[in-house]
Each structure stands twice: as structure tokens, then as C-alpha cells.
Structure 1
Amino acid sequence: MEPTSTAPPATDAASYLDLAITLSLNNWPALSLAVQSNWGGPTSGDKRDWLCGAISEMFTERPETDAMDLEDVLIQVMNDEFDVVVDDESAGNVADQIMELKTHTDRGDFAPVQQMWEAWQTKSQSKSAAGQFQKVEAQDEDQETDDDDESEEGGDVDMDDAPSLVRAPRERVEPEIDDDGFTKVVGKRR
């Protein structure tokens, strides 16, 4: 579930927890990159939404869930659904954040989630304003007839702080042939 600026404010602990999970996952750079790059296929956004619901459901069905359990789920989903191996400890950080927010919502303290929501809205508004600026700027550049491309220099970007993501290679499954010479059909593992 991608949070929208028109979403109604949460009114109870469960709604705030769902919002906290959604915001945490949408703010996770590794998952955001996987979704934007469609590493999970054309339904990558839907997979993120499904993950939000699955985590919420996990807390309901297994209240003993802790940060380590949650981290395992995040790593497994990133690997299975997006072919991404997350080895930068960010899954643990997201799991810790969700567990901390769950503790707050269980106590009826919704202020941290509300702050995250307000920050998300501000960030979303900034993105749409920046998007409008970029569209206008692109139109202005199209109208220029000067050949000033040589005056612009592209500098190197420091990638030291970029998340460490490794796409897991897909394993080719060899077909199984039974005693009668028929090939066994095996569905995808989910």
C-alpha cells in the first residue's frame, strides 16, 4: 500500500500500526528501488502492498513475533519476490523500526506514526513540486537553440553510501523425467 496524501487519518491502534508498517516499507530504500525498477515484475508495487498486509496479519496471528522474525520475513520476501539479496543490514533496521512503532501503538502513543505520516506528506508534496519544476525546465531546454552542452560537465557521484543490493541469479530448474519418459511439470514456488 503506497500511502497517499488523501488517506484518512488512522483512528485506532491497529490502523496506526498498519500505517506504520506501510510507511516503514515505503521508506525502505532497498524495497523502493526494487519496486521502481520492477525487479519483482510488473506487479512489484502490488507485492509491496501484499507485504504490508502480510506483516500486519503476522502480528495478529502470531503476537509473539519479534524483530528477528520480521527481519527474516523481509529478507526472504526480497529474495523470493524481487530477486534481491539484502546484505546491508537495512532489513534489520526496518524490522527494528516497525517493532518500535508497534510498541508505541500498543501503548496508545500514536505521535511517532503521526510524525512519520506528516514527513511522508511533506516529502510527497516536495516530489510533486520538483516534478513540475523538472517538466518546466525540460520544456525550456527544448526551446533553447544554443549548443551549450559542452559547457556542462558531469561529475562523478559518490556511491559509498548507496545500499548494497545484489540481484540473486535465477536458478534454472532442469526438467524431471519419470520412468515412462514423461516430463514432470513443476509450478513456480511462492
Structure 2
Amino acid sequence: MAAPHPNQVAFREGVDYLFHSWTALKLAVDGEWGGHDSAAKRDWFVDTVVDYFSEKGKNVDSFDLEDILIQIMNDEFSILLEDQSEQHIAKVLEQLYLECTHGRYDLVQTLKQDSQKISGALKGNSQKLKKEGDEEDDDSSDDDEEDGDEDMDVDMESSSSKPRREKAEPIIDEDGFETVVKKRR
């Protein structure tokens, strides 16, 4: 088997960088919304898109590509894209493919830099959060902690120290519809 053409390698790298910086997909992988193998699913997703472009070439249908992005995000990560990011991703993929087929890799480099910025920012934030978390462990009466975690404290108290209430009977109105009652915390 012959080695892949440099344009194909560059396109694959560009798709990988793009998918690593796609917010919805990044959240899904980081949160393991696709299960413990979410990162492997993202890599498979990249391969699927690269294969789609290899098969269709310059005859890629934008709407078909968007549908593929939506379908995989929904099926593999249980995400319903409401931000229409699939449209932006599809456009970038098409532009990336066209540039790579002409031997231009500027967009690949831009995507690489964007991906590195996002990764660096997230690593910096997680280190900052860890440091703040260490400080909060030392001083549990911190005002910021009380303001930000009230709901969590209430939920933890209600589940550990109070007995569970029995489920209330549904309230049905005269038309036969159930009235939704907001749960108290």
C-alpha cells in the first residue's frame, strides 16, 4: 500500500484539529457523553468525515455533510445541536478540503493554532481551578463557595439527612390534562 499523499495527510490533520476545537464535540468528549470511549469515537468521527470527502471529492453536498455531522453527534454523543455549529463546521471542512487539494495548508496551520490555544486555555483553567479548589478545602467558610454551591448543599442535605417523601399523586384538571408541579428543593 502506498503512503498517503501529503494533501490527504494535511486534510486529516486539519479535520482532527477542527474537531478538537469544536466546542460541542469537545464538551461531549471531555464529559464522556459518548461513554468511556468518547475520545475514540471522536477519532472515528474524524476518519468518517475524511472518508466521506475521499469518496465524494469536490462533489460534497453541504446539506448532506451537515446531516452527517448532526447524525453522528446525536447517535454517538447524544447531542442535539441547537447552535447550528454543524453549518460552520461543514463550511470549514469544505474550505479545508479545497485548500488541501491545491497543496495549500494555511488553514491547517490556523486550525492547529486554534486547537492549541483552546487546549492551553483549558489546561490553564483546570490548573487554576485546582489551585482554587485546594484553597477552598483549607477554608470551608469561604463566601464564594457558599454563594455558588447553595443548590448542591441543599440537595446533599435533603438526600442524606431527610427521609424521602412519597411521590405525590398527579393533579388532573377538568380537561383530563396533568398539571405539572415544580418540585421544591
Q: Which moved more, 1:62-71 or 1:73-82?
A: 62-71
Q: What is the rounded CA distance, in whole Å, between the counterparts of 2:18 and 2:129 in structure 1?
A: 28
How far is the alpha carbon of 1:151 from its aligned partner?
Answer: 8.8
How far is the alpha carbon of 1:54 from its aligned partner?
Answer: 0.9
Instruction: Look up the match of 2:130.
Output: 135
How far is the alpha carbon of 1:81 from its aligned partner?
Answer: 1.7
How far is the alpha carbon of 1:97 from its aligned partner?
Answer: 1.0
Q: What is the rounded CA distance, in whole Å, between the counterparts of 2:142 and 2:54 in structure 1?
A: 60
The share of aligned pairs that are identical, in percent, is: 33
Contact preservation (8 Å) 1:66, 1:99:
no
Q: Find the partner of 1:24 among 13, 18, 25.
A: 18
Q: Find the partner of 1:36 among 12, 22, 30.
A: 30
Q: What is the rounded CA distance, in whole Å, between the counterparts of 2:129 and 2:83 in structure 1?
A: 32
Q: What is the rounded CA distance, in whole Å, between the counterparts of 2:31 and 2:144 in structure 1?
A: 31
Counterpart amino acid of 2:105?
F
What is the number of equivalent residue pairs in this alignment? 144
Q: CA RMSD in A?
A: 2.5
Instruction: Look up the match of 1:149.
Output: 143
How far is the alpha carbon of 1:150 from its aligned partner?
Answer: 6.9
Pair member with larger Rg: 2
Q: What is the rounded CA distance, in whole Å, between the counterparts of 1:134 and 1:79 in structure 2?
A: 30
Q: Are positions 1:12 and 2:6 aligned together?
A: yes
Contact preservation (8 Å) 1:35, 1:45:
yes
Q: Which runs of 5+ in 1 are unaligned?
A: 1-10, 155-190
Question: Where do 4+ consecutive residues of structure 1 move more than 6 Å?
Answer: none
